[in-house]
Amino acid sequence: MTCTIESKERGGIINPMYTCQPAGGQYASIGVKDCIPLVHGGQGCTMFVRLLFAQHFKENFAVASSSVHEEAAVFGGTKRIVEGVEVLARRYPELRVIPIITTCSTEVIGDDIEGTITACYKMLAKEFPGRTIHLVPVHTPSFKGSQVSGYDEAVKSLVKTLAKKEQPAGKLNVFPGWVNPGDVAELKFYLDEMGVDGTILMDTGRFDSPMLPDKSLQTEGSTTVEDLQGTANAIGSIALARYEGAGAADYLKNEFGVPCIHSPTAYGIANTDTLLRNISQLTGKPIPESLVWERGRALNALTDLAHMFFADKKVAIFGHPDMVIGLAQFCMEVEMKPVLLLFGDDNGRYKRDPRVAELKKANLDFDMEIVCNADLWELERRIKEKTIELDLIMGHSKGRYIAIDANIPMVRVGFPTFDRAGLQRHPTIGYRGAMQLGETIANTLFAHMEYTKDREWILNTW
Amino acid sequence: MPMVLLECDQDIPERERHIYFKAPGEDSRDYLPAANAPTIPGTLSERGCSFCGAKLVIGGVLKDTIQMIHGPLGCAYDTWHTKRYPSDNGHFQLKYSWSTDMKESHIVFGGEKRLEKCMHEAFDAMPEIKRMVVYTTCPTALIGDDVKAVVKKVTAARTDVDIFTVECPGFAGVSQSKGHHVLNIGWVSEKVGTVEPEITSEYTINFIGDYNIQGDTDVLQRYWDRLGIQVIAHFTGNSTYDACRSMHRAKLNVVNCARSAGYIANELKRLYGIPRLDIDSWGFNYMAEAIRKVASFFGLEEKAEELIAEETAKWKPQLDWYKERLQGKKMAIWTGGPRLWHWTKAVEDDLGVEVVAMSSKFGHEEDFEKVIARGRNGTYYIDDPNELEFFEIMDKAKPDIIFTGPRVGDLVKKLHIPYVNGHAYHNGPYMGFEGFVNMARDMYNATHNPLFRLAAIDIRDDRALLVEEAA
């Protein structure tokens, strides 16, 4: 029984698992307070990403475009950046950060972003004396990497541009990766329980925002300019996703000597244990009784399910690589068999990932196949050709028709999950995340037993 | 009142040319918003790109065709799962999206070989599919890949396939509108006339500019069936690639969306002498008028009157029930372009609803001529609106309901205004008689949603409680 890791053989894509880098740049940027990113490219690169965020969160986020038209594509588009920055600065007086996010077209035509930013600063100094707006170059050509690397690049660029060495502040940097507001809330809960003053990068907690009597708009990122500046003065950084934010933590270590731990992505009990121990190690704060209790509740709930319902269930998982690896580890904790893992881009580091190496060394009692640079056809094809049999699919909503057509139960997890209500509010990481995810899996399997009349009578007495 | 410079636009005064507030006695000779003009960078315009105008709006609707997008993966990902146009073959067009997944090496060394490989792979993966549309995108247009040469090569190697090329990168034009144009003209020049349809009726039409949103096409197809009219091609709702190749054999082009598909109707007139007849398919009055117009072309007036009478008898009582409850409601239409002039008078005549603000992302000046002619006084008409303008207009016009997309819908929720999906509908279809009842029902359910009343209450405020009790 082995774990193999290969790349997709086909060159093209049938049903992409990720979108392109600029989308990741935009997702990182909307996590910053008083920030509107300016995407330098065609208008679709912005309009569709805003729609994607709206589909997932059922919320609106502000993202601007430099609206590159034909003239700019032929003669260069840097003037449109300067104009865009000025228009944003004039019309949004509270604005403090503008990431300038490139796309395929503007990288191909070779617009000089850094030079243009210098020109923008001159313009801002003249037109808006006394006001500070930080411009952040984010190079995210769409023909490299994916939304995953685009997110990583933008977090790194924001930290690089803004981090400023001052007095040690005793805070802990937490880079959760591309997660949901529900996950951020879970992390904040741990920091609170442990008495740790933390900076979450990016703090998307308020993406889950209310309708209020005064009709005010509260949907925005909560990571401030000061938070980003202060990352250089933290007592340490914890990166929960190797490919989404860890680059920024590494930068802080190399540039400012901020100790950094790459903690496993906190899916499941053991990974969360490691996270809490790592927080404790970096801050010197003990793990409190309350979290022992939290852990016990999750174990208690999952024990009801694991060897009775989950054992031997074959699972395919697709989505962001850190999440997929974390979910595979979680699945094995509850006795499921993650037989197929799909990563959706060609990042060469996946094959050297220490967690993958561990899976290869582990004495698995099933065969596990990992496919890099995969599209969703890799999953659909295997199901159609009957080279794989699955009891469960875990992944985001773009794969919904594979499950629907093959009549395989599917649990939505990751980004985007637009075809299920409210998932962004609930944690999938941490103890509570493990418990809720486990229970969602169980309820999905139970509903499937009922629809297909497959031993549904078992639940008569459970 | 002439053109309006909004408070939020003081720093971009050129926006004044795009916003019109109609006063009594004025018409579009006096004032007409500038449209189809370059976007101001950084305004938070809502426009998309011309690639999506071609792929997402028109080409991607075809139910039997591979949509090969030659570019990085994002263009394929983003134009997938954003539309509600089902089909009668299991929604093939909703389930798949194809990309050549261009990487840096292809940008440097050219992407033609990659495209060729991906086209073969796609046909091999789904051997039952024999039709394909290939689209260029920003980077593949910039590096100058000769897509047509690749298509020729693949077609030579696979004799049973047919492939159409759309060269319309995202930066072309100023909005999605350019993509409609390029696809229309390309299709009629290269593909129409290459397949001969089976003619089963002496009355034949093409139904142009309808994309089967939530089954619109089905509703209208039932009307054409009852009149004994054969639809040679739907362009492109629930349609096949080959049906659209045989458009030259229709006797009449019936056009619903003149913005996205008027071009092909004009070309079919020029090349094949087929007359163009524009109709509105939303609303009782308009639908009846449309059926009469089409039927009278073929001398089917009697059948038409029977059909209209039957449909009216069946659906009018329901429409009236909603009309009674929607009368006087204020509505905003914040969509792409043509629905402004399709809807404003329809909701006014059939439901007593007043449209108080309308915006268009990609409409041209001729669309504004139509909408201002049909629209009310005291209404805002806006081209290429941006987010701050939206807030200001909402504040001035105070609509009870907004027809717009999901993102703006999520935004207006916070302002305690209900939205109905003006692009993809909430629970359609909305075309035809029964469709307009659906639209009225969705408006009624939206404007009578009790949650919006609750949202206005501050529970800390004692007076709120009194207001509640009084209500």
- Say whether B172 and A70 touch across the interface (CB within 8 A): yes
- Say whether B12 and A401 touch across the interface (CB within 8 A): no
HSE, CB side, 13 Å, CA atoms: give it for residue A393. Answer: 27
Given pLDDT bands bounded at 50, 70 and 90, which one contains residue B58? Answer: very high
| Together in a domain, B212 and B169 | no
What is the β-pairing status of strands B98-99 and A13-14? antiparallel
Is residue A343 within 8 Å of residue A244, measured between CB atoms? no
| Residue B213 token pair | 């949103």
Last residue in a domain, options B242, B272, B305: B305
Helix B301-326 × helix B338-351 angle, to 10°: 80
CB proximity under 8 Å: A 104-123 to B: 104-105, 108-109
pLDDT of residue B28: 81
Out of A11, A21, A53, name the one closest to residue B118 (CB): A11
| Residue B399 token pair | 């609509």
pLDDT in tens, A204-227: 999 999 999 999 999 999 999 999
The answer to whether residue B216 sits within a structural domain is: yes
| Together in a domain, B151 and B214 | no
Q: Check whether B469 has a pLDDT greater than 90.
A: no
Is residue A291 within 8 Å of residue A276, measured between CB atoms? yes
pLDDT of residue A1: 78
Q: What is the DSSP letter of B14?
A: G
The helix/strand/coil state of A126 is helix
The answer to whether residue B178 sits within a structural domain is: no
What is the β-pairing status of strands A38-40 and A64-65? parallel
Q: How far is A245 from chain B (nearest CA, A)?
A: 21
Q: Please tell me if residue A33 touches chain B, with a CB cutoff of 8 Å.
A: no
Q: B187 — phi, psi (to 5°)?
A: -65, -45
Rounded to 5 degrees, what angle do the CA atoms A156, A161, A164 make? Answer: 105
| Residue A222 token pair | 């909560």
| Together in a domain, B56 and B120 | yes
Distance, in Å, from the CA atom of B258 to the CA atom of B265, rounded to the nearest integer, reads 9
The number of distinct structural domains making up chain B is 2
Cα B236 to Cα B172, B229, B239: the distances in Å are 23, 18, 5
- Say whether A80 and B41 touch across the interface (CB within 8 A): yes
Q: Check whether B466 has a pLDDT greater than 90.
A: no
Residue indicated by tokens 């805003």: A50
- List of chain B residues whose C-beta atoms are within 8 Å of the C-beta of residue A398: 77, 80-81
Q: How far is B324 from chain A (nearest CA, A)?
A: 29
Closest CA to B365 of B34, B40, B53: B34
Q: How far is B362 from chain A (nearest CA, A)?
A: 12
Cα B400 to Cα A102, A210, B390, B443: the distances in Å are 39, 20, 15, 10
| Together in a domain, B212 and B300 | yes
pLDDT of residue B260: 97
| Together in a domain, B246 and B162 | no
Q: A195 — phi, psi (to 5°)?
A: 70, 35
Neighbours of A407 (CB within 10 A): 9
Which helix (H) or strand (E) covers residue A134, if one does? strand A134-138
Cα nearest neighbour of A47 on chain B:
B48
| Together in a domain, B209 and B274 | yes
pLDDT in tens, A366-383: 999 999 999 999 999 999
Q: What is the DSSP letter of A395?
A: E
The answer to whether residue B80 sits within a structural domain is: yes
Closest CA to B439 of B220, B215, B282, B324: B282
Q: How far is A413 from chain B (nearest CA, A)?
A: 17
The answer to whether residue B429 sits within a structural domain is: no
Q: What percent of chain B has pLDDT over 70?
A: 98
Contacts for A242 with CB less than 8 Å, ≥ 6 apart: A262, A265, A321, A322, A349, A353
- List of chain B residues whose C-beta atoms are within 8 Å of the C-beta of residue A81: 41
Average the pLDDT over A92-119 and give the result: 97
The answer to whether residue B322 sits within a structural domain is: no
- Say whether B71 and A104 touch across the interface (CB within 8 A): yes
- Cβ-based burial of B257 (10 A; exposed 0-12, middle 13-18, buried ≥19): buried
Report the range of poorest mean pLDDT among A39-53, A54-68, B18-32, B199-213.
Answer: B18-32
Q: Please tell me if residue A60 touches chain B, with a CB cutoff of 8 Å.
A: yes
Q: Check whether B434 has a pLDDT greater than 70.
A: yes
Is residue B357 within 8 Å of residue B382, measured between CB atoms? yes
Neighbours of B285 (CB within 10 A): 14
Q: How many residues does chain B have?
A: 471
Residue indicated by tokens 């009549």: A407
Distance, in Å, from the CA atom of B101 to the CA atom of B104, rounded to the nearest integer, reads 10
- List of chain A residues whose C-beta atoms are within 8 Å of the C-beta of residue B107: 104, 108, 143
Strand partners, A238: A174, A261
The answer to whether residue B165 sits within a structural domain is: yes
Is residue B106 within 8 Å of residue A143, measured between CB atoms? yes
The pTM assigned to this predicted structure is 0.97
Q: Check whether A388 has a pLDDT greater than 80.
A: yes
pLDDT in tens, A291-323: 999 999 999 999 999 999 999 999 999 999 999
The residue type found at A303 is T
The answer to whether residue B391 sits within a structural domain is: no
- Say whether A38 and B138 touch across the interface (CB within 8 A): no
Last residue in a domain, options B305, B334, B362: B305
- Say how many CB pairs under 8 Å bridge A and B: 243
Average the pLDDT over A112-123 and give the result: 98
CB proximity under 8 Å: A 247-276 to B: none
- Say whether B100 and A212 touch across the interface (CB within 8 A): no
Q: What is the DSSP letter of B198?
A: P
A416 preceded by a cis bond (ω within 30 of 0): yes
Distance, in Å, from the CA atom of A196 to the CA atom of A219, rounded to the nearest integer, reads 26
Cα A76 to Cα A64, A110, A237, B109, B274: the distances in Å are 19, 8, 40, 22, 44
Distance, in Å, from the CA atom of A161 to the CA atom of A137, rounded to the nearest integer, reads 8
CATH number at residue B110: 3.40.50.1980
Distance, in Å, from the CA atom of A202 to the CA atom of A227, rounded to the nearest integer, reads 10
The stretches of A195-288 forming alpha helices (DSSP H) are: 225-230, 246-256, 269-283
Q: Please tell me if residue A78 touches chain B, with a CB cutoff of 8 Å.
A: no
Strand partners, A137: A100
Given pLDDT bands bounded at 50, 70 and 90, which one contains residue B2? Answer: confident
Rounded to 5 degrees, what angle do the CA atoms A381, A387, A388 make? Answer: 90
**Across all residues in chain A, what is the average pLDDT?**
97
Report the range of poorest mean pLDDT among A399-403, B25-29, B101-105, B176-180.
Answer: B25-29
| Together in a domain, B93 and B149 | yes
- Say whether B74 and A19 touch across the interface (CB within 8 A): yes
Q: Please tell me if residue A396 touches chain B, with a CB cutoff of 8 Å.
A: no
Domain extent at residue B218: 204-305
Q: Check whether B471 has a pLDDT greater than 80.
A: no
Q: How many residues does chain A have?
A: 462
Cα A45 to Cα A69, B50, B122, B298: the distances in Å are 13, 11, 25, 47
Neighbours of B98 (CB within 10 A): 29
- Say whether A216 and B407 touch across the interface (CB within 8 A): no
The DSSP-derived string for A64-101 is EE----HHHHHH-SHHHHHHHHHHHHHH-TT--EEEEE
| Together in a domain, B225 and B272 | yes
Cα B19 to Cα A227, B346, B374, B398: the distances in Å are 41, 23, 17, 17
What dihedral angle (degrees, nearest 10) is formed by the CA atoms of B452, B410, B213, B366?
100
Given pLDDT bands bounded at 50, 70 and 90, which one contains residue A39? Answer: very high
Cα nearest neighbour of A66 on chain B:
B41
Cα nearest neighbour of B459 on chain A:
A213
Average the pLDDT over A27-56 and give the result: 98
Cα nearest neighbour of A218 on chain B:
B414
- Say whether B47 and A18 touch across the interface (CB within 8 A): no
pLDDT of residue B27: 81
A137 preceded by a cis bond (ω within 30 of 0): no
Sign of the Cα pseudo-torsion (A144, A145, A150, A154, in order) = negative
Contacts for B348 with CB less than 8 Å, ≥ 6 apart: B354, B355, B376
Out of B44, B138, B408, name the one closest to residue A104 (CB): B138
| Together in a domain, B237 and B166 | no
pLDDT of residue B30: 86
- Say whether B169 and A91 touch across the interface (CB within 8 A): no
The answer to whether residue B167 sits within a structural domain is: yes
Contacts for B28 with CB less than 8 Å, ≥ 6 apart: B368, B369, B372, B373
Q: How far is A375 from chain B (nearest CA, A)?
A: 10
- Say whether B38 and A64 touch across the interface (CB within 8 A): no
